[in-house]
A = this chain, B = another copy of it.
Amino acid sequence: MYTESIENYLKTIFEIQKETEKVTTNSISEKLGVAPASVTSMMKKLSEKKLITHKRYQGVKLTGPGQKIALEVIRHHRLVELYLAEALGVPWDQVHDEAEKWEHVLSEDLEDRMDKALGYPTRDPHGSPIPSRDGTLIELESIPLVELQPGQSGVIAEVSDHDPDLLRYVGKMGLYPMTRVEVLSVEPFSGPITIKVEDSSHILGSQAAQYVFVTDVEPGRSELT
């Protein structure tokens, strides 16, 4: 077993790797809230353990074993998030912080028990895919809601779980995964958009709409002509 610190570093590197091509010392430093110098010294340790490769001044990359561990931590995290939401009714804006601690103390036995109790789920409460036991992660293709044209609709695939306030905000309009949402209008100059969710309409800031991802996009009536 690795330390909580190492698990957090590997998970963070994996998450940055998913978004940007190069994983820099600075990006890890920011995401993890530690000083850049601390990251460098941890990178040295992870290199020695063959969990990452690190070329001085050139960024890092997970090795096979490193990625395996990262995916296991993420699996724990997302399973716990879903379990807390489903079994204990924890609101979806609170599950992330709890899971951040639990992911490191979840035994394989309990992982399996939760998995079973939840019916072998594939998505966490925010729509993110849960890696399978053997470390396979199936990303769903989705685009930010803010990119939809007026008249278009899509099904919420995923909502970023990085900010509890955002989750509460979009949750109040019913913007949960699997829900269909239609864009009624889009204000220019990155203005707010008007959306329809379950027969009621709301105004959504473009910032927030950056963090809501949809799939299954269908053209609206206007485009059908």
Contacts and interface: CB of A to CB of B under 8 A. Distances in A.
Nearest to A97: B107
Contact of A98 (B94, B101, B107): B107
A90 B110 contact: yes
A94 to B, nearest CB: 7
A87 interface: yes
Contacts of A114: 88
Contact of A87 (B87, B101, B109): B87
- Main secondary structure, interface of A, reads helix
A105 B107 contact: no
A98 B117 CA distance: 18
Contacts of A98: 107, 110
Nearest to A112: B88
Contacts of A102: 102, 105
Interface in A86-111: 87-90, 94, 98, 101-102, 104-105, 107, 109-110
A105 B102 CA distance: 7
Interface string A109-122: 11001100100000
A94 B109 CA distance: 10
A89 B117 CA distance: 10
15 contacts: A87-B117, A88-B110, A88-B113, A89-B113, A90-B109, A90-B110, A90-B113, A94-B109, A98-B107, A98-B110, A101-B105, A102-B102, A102-B105, A104-B105, A105-B105
